Amino acid sequence: MQTSRPFWFLLNIYGWVVLGMSAVTAFVVGQWWIVLLGVVGYLIALLVDLVSGSSLGRTGVIRLSRAEQENRELRAEQGRLLGAIKERDAKIGATEKTVTNHQ
């Protein structure tokens, strides 16, 4: 069973760095609305984390890598099958040409 990680978003170090830098900038400049830019930056860091798959944990990363490997294998098989179909069509076309030339 997969373990639940309810507060995984708090473990994102890049998000905390962006949020901290915005807080420091807001303190230095004296414009506290700049912290909102840090919140947006934190959310962007979380989004990048989700897209890259690093928020999945160990078992999720293993499942994702297996799915990617299976996808590569299926695409390779698809390429082989399409190549075989093209070769077959070429042979059929050549056979039809010879048959029509002999008639």
The pLDDT value given to residue 9: 80
37 vs 23: CA distance, rounded Å: 9
Main-chain dihedrals φ then ψ at residue 42, nearest 5 degrees: -65, -45
Q: What is the mean pLDDT of residues 10-29?
A: 92
The pLDDT value given to residue 39: 95
For residues 71 and 94, membership in a common domain is answered with yes
For residues 89 and 47, membership in a common domain is answered with no
Higher pLDDT among residues 42 and 8, named by residue: 42
The pLDDT value given to residue 103: 66
For residues 68 and 95, membership in a common domain is answered with yes
- Asked if residues 53 and 61 have their Cβ atoms less than 8 Å apart, the reply is yes
46 vs 40: CA distance, rounded Å: 10
For residues 65 and 103, membership in a common domain is answered with yes
For residues 74 and 97, membership in a common domain is answered with yes
* 20-67 per-position pLDDT tens digit: 999 999 999 999 999 999 999 999 998 988 887 666 667 777 888 899
The pLDDT value given to residue 64: 82
Tokens of 22: 């915005």
